[in-house]
Each structure stands twice: as structure tokens, then as C-alpha cells.
Amino acid sequence: MRRYIITTLICSIIPFITTAQKNLTHQNIEHYNINNQNIMNTINKIEFPQLPYAYDSLEPFIDKLTVEIHYSKHQKTYFDNFMNAVKGTELETMTIEEVFKNISKYPVAVKNNGGGFFNHVLYWESMKVNGGKPSVKLAEAINKKFGSLDELKKLFTDAGKTRFGSGWAWLSVDEKGDLFVSSTPNQENPIMDVTEKRGTPILAMDVWEHAYYLKYQNKRPDYIEAFWNVINWELVSKKYEAIVR
């Protein structure tokens, strides 16, 4: 099971697919440039990953100061607190995937801080200026499920806009290989056993205020519209294709 999610989610991440026909082999890993291999390790061997680009790389859509504070302060604090929460427990020798699949069994500090750390890894790699367009295979799946990319954008945007308080919007793949849009509160994600709809996320959008307030203040819809200008469709497509291959 360890080979499934962490590899596909973190720049080479193999999917969380439970059906036997969706099993993937180690060969899938080689299709990607693995920038965050350490995330696949047991938790006691994980190191805080480098941001995949410079702080100002997402300008003008996501401003430099927001990225710097968001990454070096918010995400780093989640990471430090997560490592402290699992220190000296059996969780240290488990992978993040193993913990998330049974997160309801563990202290809330593990869920909040583990999710806060991990979700941001997905968020950062979901963005890239000039991130291209969905691949042919992903575009076909989008059209089949949602009708068009515009309809997906509307559903995904609504998921972020209507999330009360803080949370996330996701594009994920379920155990049947179908795409779905969802939203989770706080630092939960579709991998966790506490979510209503479970699957492998391939696109993550943070709608906590710290993700946009310096530039957009209370205008969350403006931030979400800007996010659509920096989606890393190249990587999102690779994640999807690894899952349904």
C-alpha cells in the first residue's frame, strides 16, 4: 500500500486506489522527476521540503510576501507541530498515508498538523506560472464527468467559495477512477477516513485566509479566480494518468 498515494501526490505520487485492477507498479515512479522523495518515508525520516520555486514565481497572481509567510511560517509550524505530536509514538514509524487512512483513531493534533503540513505540499505543487493545459487524457475525463473545463472550474470555484471558515477545495480521483470535486474543513483531505468522499487528490486549493489576505483581503472569489491562472496542469495531468493507467 505504501507505494500508492505518497508517490503520486508528491510530484511522483502513485495513487491511493484500493481496487485490484488499479494496482500500479514501481515503474510508474520513474515517469516523474521526484522532488519530494522524503515524503514517502516513514514520518521519523521526513524532512521539511523545499518550496518548488522562488517566493515571487507566482506573481502577480499570488504575491511574494504571501508565499514567503505561508510557506516559511504557516507550513513550517504545521510541520514542526506534527513531528512533535508523533514523537515517541508508534506513528513515527508509519507513513503519512498509513496515518491518514486511520486518522480518526489518532489525536486531533496529528490530524490538524499532519494535514496542515501535507496539504500544503500538495498546494504548492498544484501551482506554476505557465502551467499549461490539461492533457488530452485528463481533458477527456473532465469532459466526460463535468461536461467541460468551464463546468469543472465552476464546481471547483464554488467548492472554495462556499467553504465556511477555513478549508480546502480538491479535484480528486475515486476508487473507480472517476474524477470528483470536494471541499474539506480545516486541514482535512480526501485521503483521511473522516471525509465524506475519499480518493486521491490531484489538485489542491487552500482557502484559509492566510493564503490570500495580504493581497485580496476578504475577496476570496478574486483569489480563487487568480488561482486558475497558475494551475500546474502538467503535473495534475501526470497524477491523473498515473492513477488510471
Q: Are 86 and 92 in contact (CB under 8 A)?
A: yes
pLDDT tens for each residue of 28-44: 322 233 345 667 789 99
> How confident is the model at residue 41, as a pLDDT?
87
Q: Which domains does the chain have, with CATH numbers?
A: 66-245 (3.55.40.20)
Question: How far is it, in rounded angstroms, from Cα 81 to Cα 62?
Answer: 26
Question: How far is it, in rounded angstroms, from Cα 185 to Cα 101?
Answer: 17
* Residue ranges, the chain, pLDDT below 50: 1-35
Residue with cell 495534475: 236
Q: Which of 1, 42, 236, 5 is nearest to 137 (CA)?
A: 236
Q: Quick one: which H or E segment has residue 170?
A: strand 167-173
Q: Quick one: which H or E segment has residue 123?
A: helix 108-125
> How confident is the model at residue 25, as a pLDDT?
28
pTM given for the model: 0.85
8: cell is 503520486
